[in-house]
Amino acid sequence: MQFENLSLRLESDALLTQKLEPFDFGNDTDTHELELRMTALMQAYNGMGIAANQVGFDKRVIIVQPKGQEPIGMFNPEITSQSGICTDEEGCLSFPGLFIKVERSDNIIVNYVDKDQKQCTITLTGMDAKCVQHEIDHLDGICFITRVSRLKLDLARKRQRKYNGRAK
């Protein structure tokens, strides 16, 4: 994989709706460089998180930046526990200007492998938990627009058009 080709993919990109295969540390690309490039893209677009398929890479990798912490690269992340329910507004780098209230778990535990192939576990709450769930959804080919009713999506699209019209 050439990292120069990584770029933000927008909602019409078919890779966003594909379930991704696990990252293979034996055969896949340089983890340190991939994490560095994905983090740079996430930060360039002022994101809290980004999934590999959002940048054109087809393996299970996300980058998230919990509040007050450095970005974390999660290879093959898996939510092992979740509790509590909260509904908050979400946006997505691949859907500029679109914001929708989505129901998510408020507390999660995630197992993942870091760039150095170390097994890790992290407990997240609130917005950080919601961000990781959003990014793992991407890895499963699920975009946040599928988590709301058609009516709510239509209203959000109307606001998006108005927002994007002002930005031009």
Q: What is the CATH number of the domain that holds 47?
A: 3.90.45.10
Q: Which of 29-38, 54-63, 146-155 has the lowest mean pLDDT?
A: 146-155
Catalytic: which of 21, 35, 89, 135?
135
- Count how many domains the chain has: 1
Give how far the C-alpha of residue 8 lies from the chain's centroid of Cα atoms, to the nearest Å.
12
Nearest CA-CA partner of 74 in 59, 84, 54? 59
Mean pLDDT value of segment 30-40: 94
Predicted TM-score (pTM) of the model is 0.90
Does residue 135 carry a catalytic annotation? Answer: yes
Give how far the C-alpha of residue 101 lies from the chain's centroid of Cα atoms, to the nearest Å.
16
Provide the token pair at 114: 């870091």
Higher pLDDT, 2 or 4: 4
Distant-in-sequence, close-in-space partners of 22: CB < 8 Å, separation ≥ 6: 59, 60, 76
Percent with pLDDT over 70 in the chain:
95
Mean pLDDT value of segment 51-60: 96
Nearest CA-CA partner of 61 in 130, 117, 139? 139
Has residue 3 got a pLDDT over 90?
no
Q: Which of 80-84, 90-94, 109-113, 145-149 has the lowest mean pLDDT?
A: 145-149
Provide the token pair at 9: 């993919």
Domain with 80, as residue range(s), is 3-167
